[in-house]
Amino acid sequence: MATKKIEEIKTHPLFEGLFTINDELLAKIEQDMRDDRYDITQPVILATWKGQNEPVCIDGHTQLKAAKNSGIEEVPVWLHEFDTEEEALEKAIKLQLNRRNMTDGEILMCMETLDKRKQRGGDRRSEAAQSKVQHWPIENEQSSSAQETGNLLGISERKVKQTRTVMDHADEVTKESVKQGDLSINQAYQKTQRKRKQAKAEPPSENAGEKAPDEVQGVQQVSDEDKASTNIAPVFLSLEHFRALRQLGGSIEEHVAKAIELYLKSLQNQCEQTSTGDAPEDDDEEYFDPADYIDK
């Protein structure tokens, strides 16, 4: 088995923050290392994948920290090569599950990380996947994804769906309470569902400027007078876009309105440049820069 100097081992924020280091366990491992040196049956797991050519630690952060605190300079390592970051992430989760049961807070953090990675990669980036607009919720995709995630994390499909409800609809205080161990996923789910039902039962506000409830996604509430003079249509989002907008925070109505406003502004600028003869020669130039949307 290969060894590597601790000072040469690189960490990665995705894996370093995936599981919280238990202080009591850390102290116990440190004492064992001072008494009997490093247990070579517990190597630090390093990995590479496409886009990550330098090996980074994906598992063994507690061992690594304990060794450093104990004055050990060199530790055994095992190197894995993966095709994608998502494969490395799934491997790290499986290694943790082989040693212990995850807390509800760790399950929530793992699912948040997994779902973010799935939004960025795989078939979701293909032209066919991006053009496939579906209604929310998407029952077939939800069921398949819940089963797949449940198998990976060793939890039931029902718990996966409860966790996703918390991820998509709970306020930040509730989610943080789960991560800190103050609430279970089931308690957070019940709390969130009660709030959602209460919001649905409340009559629409007469104030046209007031935000619509989170459950009315993509449809802005307007007065009866405005409805009579305006064509109102719901906006259906793909699962990928729905979760991406939820990660940005705020209401989805605001994001849709903002994106349309920027798009119309880009068209106006294009028309002005054309009329003054300043239009770019490349007809394929992109006038709407997504970075402008995020920065504003």
Give pLDDT tens digits for 178-214: 999 999 999 999 999 999 998 888 766 555 444 444 4
Which of these three, 85, 100, 115, is where a domain ends? 100
Asked if 189 and 124 sit in the same domain, the reply is yes
Asked if 28 and 82 sit in the same domain, the reply is yes
**Side by side, which strands form the sheet with 74-81?**
3-5, 74-81, 44-49, 52-59, 10-11
More confident residue, 287 or 150: 150
Asked if 76 and 168 sit in the same domain, the reply is no
> What is the DSSP code (8-state) at residue 102?
P
What pLDDT is stored for residue 129 in this prediction? 39
Measure the CA–CA gap between 213 and 257, rounded to whole angstroms.
16
SS3 70: coil
Whole-number CA gyration radius for the chain: 24
Please name the residue that has the structure tokens 């709030």. 195
Which of these three, 177, 192, 209, is where a domain ends? 209
Asked if 111 and 199 sit in the same domain, the reply is yes
Relative orientation angle of helices 185-201 and 157-169, to the nearest 10 degrees:
50
Asked if 121 and 78 sit in the same domain, the reply is no
pTM score, whole prediction: 0.56
pLDDT tens profile 122-166: 434 344 434 433 333 444 455 567 888 999 999 999 999 999 999
Q: Is the pLDDT of residue 20 over 60?
A: yes
Do you find a cis peptide bond into 290, omega within 30 degrees of 0?
no
Asked if 228 and 214 sit in the same domain, the reply is yes
Asked if 91 and 26 sit in the same domain, the reply is yes
Average pLDDT value over all residues in the chain: 77
Asked if 277 and 240 sit in the same domain, the reply is yes
Q: Is the pLDDT of residue 284 over 80?
A: no
Asked if 95 and 122 sit in the same domain, the reply is no
Q: Is the pLDDT of residue 93 over 60?
A: yes
Q: Residue 2: which domain range? A: 1-100
Which of these three, 163, 191, 209, is where a domain ends? 209
Segment 62-84 shows an average pLDDT of 95
Asked if 74 and 106 sit in the same domain, the reply is no
Asked if 174 and 229 sit in the same domain, the reply is no
Asked if 283 and 195 sit in the same domain, the reply is no
Q: Is the pLDDT of residue 82 over 60?
A: yes
HSE-CB of 212 using CA atoms within 13 angstroms: 14
Residue type, 116: K
Measure the CA–CA gap between 256 and 212, rounded to whole angstroms.
13
